[in-house]
Structure 1
Amino acid sequence: MNDLTPAAFGYTDGDVDTNNSANVTLNELAAQRISRRQTLRGGSAIVAATLGASVLSACDSDDDGFNPPIVTGPVTSLTTASGRTVALTGTADANGNQSWVQVSGPVVTLTGATSANASFLAPSVSTATQFVFRYVTGNGNATSQADTNVTVNPAQLGFTAVAKNKLDVVSVPTGYKVQVVNRTGDPIAAAVPAYKNDGTDTNFAQRIGDHGDALYWYGLAATGTARDATSSTRGLLVQNHENINIQYLHPAGPTNAPAGPRPEAEAIKEIECHGVSITEVSEGTGRAWTVLQTGALNRRITPNTPVVFNGPVKGSDLLKTVFSADGTTGRGTINNCANGTTPWGTAITCEENWAGYFRRASTDVAGRTAKEITALTRYGVTNGSTNPVGNFGWATVTPADASSTVFKRWDARVTGASATADFRNEPNQMGWVVEIDPYDASKAPRKRTALGRLGHEGCWPGAFVVGKKPAWYMGDDSRREYLYKFVSATAWVAADATAADRLAIGDKYLDSGTLYVAKFAADGSGTWLPLVFGQNGITAAATYPFADQADVLVHARLAADVVGATPMDRPEWTAVNPVTGEVYLTLTNNNAAGRPLAGTDAANPRHYNDPTGAAATAQFGNPNGHIIRLKETGDTTEATAFTWDIYLFGAGADLDAANINVSGLTADQDFSSPDGLYFSRPTNAAGQVKPLLWIETDDGAYTDVTNCMLLAAQPGTVGDGGARTITNTGTGGVTATQATRVGAAPTAATLKRFLVGPVECEITGIDSTPDGRTIFVGIQHPGEGGTPAAPSSHWPDSQATGTAGATVRPRSAVAVITKNDGGVVGL
């Protein structure tokens, strides 16, 4: 695809920091004669060093067959920063041999070392570090050499902020390139035809699904079938497919949706568009990224794919259905949102807003116990007129094969004599963390029930320390839900990272442990409360009478209610700083119903109005969201206590700095509704020393000003700010104060906007290759408000020129972003 480099962005990369000392000029040097005797003694040879820039050269021809390198500019030393590309340029006669060698400093890999033009990627350093490189030329016995000094500073954001905009393209800084892969409908198996994008396409079991969400890169060896965790040029992209833009999947939109009866072919297409995709991607000539349609490991996991249950809930009566009479197996995964990973090379996908897919009529009370009804209501599998047949009405399909239960499973009503005669328990089969081995299609995905059943947004691991029990951090994405942590019962063994049977290692660490929920205190402290049957009021005597630990895990929300966890403003993605171990959590937003003026607390402190649109429609509550972070006591995943503060408050730059724009965001930094969250990998300079934090938005409150965006940050640490008291404002001008804990305000050097997406999209899903030179960013549901006849976006077709045909339908896809000079993205 094209480079998007609007002049309005006014980009300067700041890579070249010349040494303006009183060196001799080019003209002065050219006026001097350099004798053969001086050459043989190695004197007077000087080279130029630049950062990704070309230089002019001059040579002294008034000599006897050999010219040493001469000054090509005033630069004999330079300053750069970690992760940036450094070019070393020398000039000598064409007949001479030329080479570059490193003389001092941490060892780097020199590209083009046996030529006049060499380069290297500045490594990660914690303080300013000196490097010396020597340019050596020779012709027979005559040699000459000169040194270039390079100072490398710690990593820093190395781009000019992208301006807010409402363009129908992915906007990135000057000096970066956008390519597109994994568009909705792209074929990922042999003989599957190209996607026509007119609603007539079928077979999404072998195509990329819709609404691409969280993603992760898994390196591939040269064979294309084995794991190579270090590979940055060939790998598997594992991506979630959360939902669908149903109007674009059919020629003229869906038939009878959702009320039904729905056509079988349409429902099959919609179901198969959900789940997970695994595709082989690779970098080719000119850094062109492509997907191998016939990749040996390409596959889809859909809501129809066989899965197995592991952990404490396996075999429980709560999982039994007519399809799974013993409660050990099931079908597929749905509404997959954020993700996680493991050091042993498996993918973790999380089932989020699954409750709305099920049918429950208002009469679905007979045959239900009061306990069942309490649980169904708490998880949103409600009955009544608002959603009587489920989001898409799949349960209304009459299949051609009368024995098929592919559609019947979405009917959660009591229709049989027992749980094994119908699908009343099918909702209990959703809402789990699911582990997948992307390298082995022969093993069914495993639902890890020890991690609890929620509206799982993500499941990100903390540090793996030998001898310590690892942990995964999870948000439950609904207003007033909670932050959870699962701590394995097994201490980490480093050799398990390279085990051949990866899902067996998952059994070892993910099937037994303790699930905790967070409680935040006003003084900046916090506690992890265990959700264990028989403890902290989680007993048969509770309002919801728990029967055993399986009941606790199936109904983790109810257990968290009992122990007094802190309700949060839509807890979504978690991310863990790979250097400090601190945990970050996006709190996307809340409204006046979820967080009224009198309902704020220190961890969710704001209540205000941010009017939106030309009509200035009121938005009371916390419409712009915030990002909270916590530091485990003793810096260990095993901790049961922590300290916390609020790293950033989302807000428009023009809002009240004292009480709304608490972080003091400028026009280059302001954002709303943080959602995706990711720290750069520790395998490259962006994830070392002071790692980059990437913040993605899924916004409805600020889209009258700008499309959704991706920001890059270098955050400090918990406690780098202090106490603050905010004055909140409700309807009618009523006010109330709320004390909280805030992080240090960002500066222009520590937070800026890196990307703005196309119209009506959500920016979600991000990872990089291990070397950090390529990042993958999910662009979800562009044009979600349009119709088949009048799409409101045309991305990604619009990426090349900014426009596309008026009836071209938008597609979710992955933007592949690289830096033109080959450096680490963001630095």
Structure 2
Amino acid sequence: MEYNRRKFISFLGKASIGTVVLPPFLVSCGNMSNPTEKNLKSSSEVLDKLRNLAIEGLFPSNKDDLLLANGLDYHVIVRWADKISEEDHFGFNNDFTCFIPFDEENPTDGLLWVNHEYVNPMFVSGFDSSKHENPDTHRTKEQVDKEMYNVGGSIVRIKQTDGKWKVVQNDPYNRRITAKTPIQLNWDHPIKGSSTVIGTHSNCSGGITPWKTFLTCEENYDSFFGETVYDKDDQPTHRDSSQGWEKFYNYPPEHYGWVVEVDPKTGSAQKHIAIGRYAHECCTLYELNDKRVVAYSGDDKNNEHLYKFISSKPGSLKEGTLYVADTINGKWLPLDWESQPLLKERFKDQTEVLIRAREAAKILGATELNRPEDIEIDPLTGNVFVSLTNNYGKNDFHGSILKIEETNGKYDALTFKAYSYMAGGEENGFSCPDNLAFDMAGNLWFTSDMSGSKMNKEDGPYMAFKNNSLFVIPRHGEEEGKVIRLASAPLDAELTGPWFSPDGKTLFLSVQHPGEQTKDLANPTSAWPFDEDGIPKPSVVAITGNLIEKMNKLHLLEKS
């Protein structure tokens, strides 16, 4: 264990406390930040204080509750079906969270964006396919409409009063974006005859832009309207979805699978075609000195790829080039129809390349990866970290973390070095890394994504880990390099979307799909969050306490 601990710290990399690599828009929004030497007496003094920090982690648990380590508390901010306005309620299966304060001088009042990834029809619409020999003949349009409303995202104004975060009821900013919301395509050419499409769904993780708008990413888009697949002769056929919405609404699959930008103050949205179409887990932006942006995104599916978009104009997510990673040779390969003869042989134009990005990536020889999920930039070293959750087909049950070092630290570089460290497994105490977040002192926080159908099974690979959890790897002091479990999820649930408040005193976190394995609403597998009706409800919580403030100690000392 000690060898692995040293190896992991070496893998993460070291940097001086004064290092600043992130652009101001990331620093000010609270998801990640940089300590600086301003107002610090000395680096050694700060590190001496950090060495006094002792963290008592949790043991694996299969208890039906959200358990937290000593020094942490939580309260529920909002849960599924809570009213957020006279017209709207909070959606189902919340995932990514992002908080933007109205005023950087007041970090306790602002707008919270929350993704709603997918639905469990039994809970949301009352449709239970197991009760019908031929389920399709019993499903109704009204049930599908309920399901469509409960995906997409929510914008809610939240304020902290007396240490508790609460939704400001009926605030004019509170609104829903759903699978029925009209959304513009940010592209010069219509897709399947449309420049405005209906709705967003499959919203997994996301990101934030330098101009303070939210990015929400459409991941398993084929679950709702299916997919168009092409044979070797380039002839298309339709592959049915698992949810069957296309039986009620004939929306083209090509309208989904994009990165969606949402203006928090107006609710207006657009889909960014230039970033490509695939199962986006996230979209992480970096703003260059000349105001051009680089956007990293991964395709969360077995044997798919890592991408980055480099804009050619300041502030544009339309003008530029999409690249896919060859991690073996350390090259970013341009998915550019004009310059790639192999792509011209298969596709008619750049729009088709972007729609069929997965095919284009494989034609160019991009490296197949094991479910690339969240991507974050290390505030201490500037390296890009990618969680590779698992790949059952390759007997990779526990996943790994990939580190990308762009050449000369330039995010618009076209070459890089890639390092893979197999962090998952019993020896290191966690499995299936998913969402990543760096706090203000550079500590690495991450959640796990073990499938609910495979957790806590005696004959499965995850029995030792029990419920999904939240972990941290400290970068300083005596706990440096240890993998420490700080939270354990309720039964069947997954912890997602970690996002820090700008002052580093709150961690916003989603508790997604508790009780997902329920077969009978009268006997749910989870009762969390223990409402009177006994029905499990996906919810967003605020985690606070002395431990979080201590973990952000470098930043807090800077402010003192």
Q: TM-score, normalized by length of structure 2?
A: 0.84
Whether 2:391 is the aligned partner of 1:391: answer no
The residue identity in structure 2 corresponding to 1:392 is Q
CA 1:632–1:125: 2 relative to 1, 3 Å: farther
CA 1:820–1:582: 2 relative to 1, 3 Å: closer
Q: Is the 8 A contact 2:127 2:143 kept in 1?
A: no
Instruction: Tell me by how many angstroms 1:713 deviates.
Output: 1.6
Query: What is the alpha-carbon distance in structure 2 between the residues aligned to residue 231 and residue 535 of structure 1?
Result: 49
Residue aligning to 2:71: 175
CA 1:527–1:154: 2 relative to 1, 3 Å: farther
Q: Is the 8 A contact 1:127 1:154 kept in 2?
A: no
Instruction: Tell me by how many angstroms 1:282 deviates.
Output: 1.0
CA 1:533–1:772: 2 relative to 1, 3 Å: same
2:289 to 456, 466, 474: 466
Instruction: Tell me by how many angstroms 1:468 deviates.
Output: 6.2
1:774 to 506, 510, 528: 506
Residue aligning to 2:385: 584
Q: Is the 8 A contact 1:127 1:153 kept in 2?
A: no
Whether 2:331 is the aligned partner of 1:454: answer no
Q: Is the 8 A contact 2:53 2:550 kept in 1?
A: no
Whether 2:259 is the aligned partner of 1:433: answer yes
Query: What is the alpha-carbon distance in structure 2 between the residues aligned to residue 176 and residue 516 of structure 1?
Result: 41
* Unpaired segments ≥5 residues, structure 2: 1-16, 18-37, 457-462, 554-560
SS in 1 for 2:142: helix
Instruction: Tell me by how many angstroms 1:250 deviates.
Output: 4.3
Q: Is the 8 A contact 1:574 1:583 kept in 2?
A: yes
The residue identity in structure 2 corresponding to 1:128 is S
CA 1:126–1:553: 2 relative to 1, 3 Å: farther
Q: Is the 8 A contact 2:125 2:146 kept in 1?
A: no
CA 1:647–1:439: 2 relative to 1, 3 Å: farther
Alignment: residue pair count:
504
Query: What is the alpha-carbon distance in structure 1 between the residues aligned to residue 109 and residue 306 of structure 2?
Result: 35
CA 1:693–1:820: 2 relative to 1, 3 Å: closer
Whether 2:538 is the aligned partner of 1:812: answer yes
Whether 2:447 is the aligned partner of 1:696: answer yes
Whether 2:333 is the aligned partner of 1:529: answer yes
Whether 2:118 is the aligned partner of 1:243: answer yes
Query: What is the alpha-carbon distance in structure 1 between the residues aligned to residue 297 and residue 85 of structure 2?
Result: 34
Residue aligning to 1:569: 370
Q: Is the 8 A contact 1:161 1:753 kept in 2?
A: yes
CA 1:160–1:648: 2 relative to 1, 3 Å: farther
CA 1:712–1:648: 2 relative to 1, 3 Å: farther
Instruction: Tell me by how many angstroms 1:588 deviates.
Output: 0.8
Query: What is the alpha-carbon distance in structure 2 between the residues aligned to residue 291 and residue 273 of structure 1?
Result: 18
1:409 to 247, 250, 270: 250
Q: Is the 8 A contact 2:288 2:294 kept in 1?
A: no
Whether 2:344 is the aligned partner of 1:540: answer yes
Query: What is the alpha-carbon distance in structure 1 between the residues aligned to residue 354 and residue 125 of structure 2?
Result: 39
* Unpaired segments ≥5 residues, structure 1: 1-81, 83-121, 131-150, 193-205, 221-227, 321-326, 383-387, 397-406, 411-425, 492-507, 596-620, 654-664, 681-686, 717-745, 799-804
Residue aligning to 1:712: 472
Instruction: Tell me by how many angstroms 1:560 deviates.
Output: 0.6
Q: Is the 8 A contact 2:372 2:389 kept in 1?
A: yes
The residue identity in structure 2 corresponding to 1:461 is L
Instruction: Tell me by how many angstroms 1:825 deviates.
Output: 5.4
The residue identity in structure 1 corresponding to 2:68 is V
CA 1:431–1:156: 2 relative to 1, 3 Å: farther
Q: Is the 8 A contact 2:343 2:363 kept in 1?
A: no
1:509 to 316, 320, 324: 316
Q: Is the 8 A contact 1:177 1:820 kept in 2?
A: no
Instruction: Tell me by how many angstroms 1:230 deviates.
Output: 4.5
CA 1:162–1:770: 2 relative to 1, 3 Å: same
Instruction: Tell me by how many angstroms 1:750 deviates.
Output: 4.0
CA 1:573–1:359: 2 relative to 1, 3 Å: closer
CA 1:531–1:826: 2 relative to 1, 3 Å: same
Residue aligning to 1:520: 327
Query: What is the alpha-carbon distance in structure 2 between the residues aligned to residue 155 and residue 295 of structure 1?
Result: 44
Residue aligning to 2:484: 752
CA 1:519–1:819: 2 relative to 1, 3 Å: same
CA 1:580–1:266: 2 relative to 1, 3 Å: same
Whether 2:243 is the aligned partner of 1:357: answer no
The residue identity in structure 2 corresponding to 1:697 is S
- Once the two structures are superposed, what CA deviation does each residue of 1:500-524 show, in whole Å capped at 9, x if it has no partner? xxxxxxxx42111110000112xxx
- Once the two structures are superposed, what CA deviation does each residue of 1:270-318 show, in whole Å capped at 9, x if it has no partner? 1101001001111112x0221112112001000100110113xx423x4
- Once the two structures are superposed, what CA deviation does each residue of 1:165-195 show, in whole Å capped at 9, x if it has no partner? 01111111112111012211111103x6xxx
Whether 2:61 is the aligned partner of 1:165: answer yes
SS in 1 for 2:234: helix
What RMSD in Å do the two structures reach over aligned CA positions?
Answer: 2.8
SS in 2 for 1:290: strand
Residue aligning to 1:147: none
Whether 2:248 is the aligned partner of 1:371: answer no
SS in 1 for 2:136: coil
Instruction: Tell me by how many angstroms 1:674 deviates.
Output: 1.0
Query: What is the alpha-carbon distance in structure 2 between the residues aligned to residue 450 and residue 459 of structure 1?
Result: 13
Q: Is the 8 A contact 1:258 1:391 kept in 2?
A: no
Equivalent residues in 2 for 1:295-306, closer than 5 Å: 295-306=171-182
Q: Is the 8 A contact 1:775 1:825 kept in 2?
A: no
Q: Is the 8 A contact 2:285 2:295 kept in 1?
A: yes
Q: TM-score, normalized by length of structure 1?
A: 0.57
More helix by share: 2
Residue aligning to 1:629: 403
Residue aligning to 2:301: 478
Q: Between the two structures, name the one with larger relative contact order (CA 8 Å, sep ≥ 6).
A: 2
Query: What is the alpha-carbon distance in structure 2 between the residues aligned to residue 470 and residue 518 of structure 1?
Result: 18
The residue identity in structure 2 corresponding to 1:449 is I
Query: What is the alpha-carbon distance in structure 2 between the residues aligned to residue 761 and residue 533 of structure 1?
Result: 42
Residue aligning to 2:352: 551
Residue aligning to 2:45: 129
Query: What is the alpha-carbon distance in structure 2 between the residues aligned to residue 188 and residue 276 of structure 1?
Result: 12
SS in 2 for 1:129: helix
CA 1:514–1:249: 2 relative to 1, 3 Å: same
Query: What is the alpha-carbon distance in structure 1 between the residues aligned to residue 401 and residue 526 of structure 2?
Result: 30
The residue identity in structure 1 corresponding to 2:197 is G
Query: What is the alpha-carbon distance in structure 2 between the residues aligned to residue 307 and residue 812 of structure 1?
Result: 26
Residue aligning to 1:185: 81
SS in 2 for 1:649: coil
Residue aligning to 1:616: none
Q: Is the 8 A contact 1:185 1:207 kept in 2?
A: yes
CA 1:246–1:547: 2 relative to 1, 3 Å: same
The residue identity in structure 2 corresponding to 1:627 is I
Q: Is the 8 A contact 1:208 1:277 kept in 2?
A: yes
Query: What is the alpha-carbon distance in structure 2 between the residues aligned to residue 638 and residue 456 of structure 1?
Result: 20
Q: Is the 8 A contact 1:126 1:153 kept in 2?
A: no
- Once the two structures are superposed, what CA deviation does each residue of 1:454-498 show, in whole Å capped at 9, x if it has no partner? 111111113x3322632111010110000000111125xxxxxxx
SS in 2 for 1:538: helix
SS in 2 for 1:232: strand
Query: What is the alpha-carbon distance in structure 1 between the residues aligned to residue 226 and residue 266 of structure 2?
Result: 34
Instruction: Tell me by how many angstroms 1:782 deviates.
Output: 0.5
Residue aligning to 2:189: 315
Identity of aligned residues (%): 32
Residue aligning to 1:336: 203
Q: Is the 8 A contact 1:126 1:154 kept in 2?
A: no
Q: Is the 8 A contact 2:468 2:488 kept in 1?
A: yes
CA 1:478–1:251: 2 relative to 1, 3 Å: closer
2:170 to 294, 297, 319: 294
Query: What is the alpha-carbon distance in structure 2 between the residues aligned to residue 589 and residue 218 of structure 1?
Result: 32
Query: What is the alpha-carbon distance in structure 2 between the residues aligned to residue 445 and residue 186 of structure 1?
Result: 23
Instruction: Tell me by how many angstroms 1:753 deviates.
Output: 1.2
CA 1:550–1:259: 2 relative to 1, 3 Å: same
- Once the two structures are superposed, what CA deviation does each residue of 1:610-634 show, in whole Å capped at 9, x if it has no partner? xxxxxxxxxxx00111111111001
SS in 1 for 2:316: helix
SS in 1 for 2:549: coil
The residue identity in structure 2 corresponding to 1:778 is S
The residue identity in structure 2 corresponding to 1:765 is G
The residue identity in structure 2 corresponding to 1:535 is S
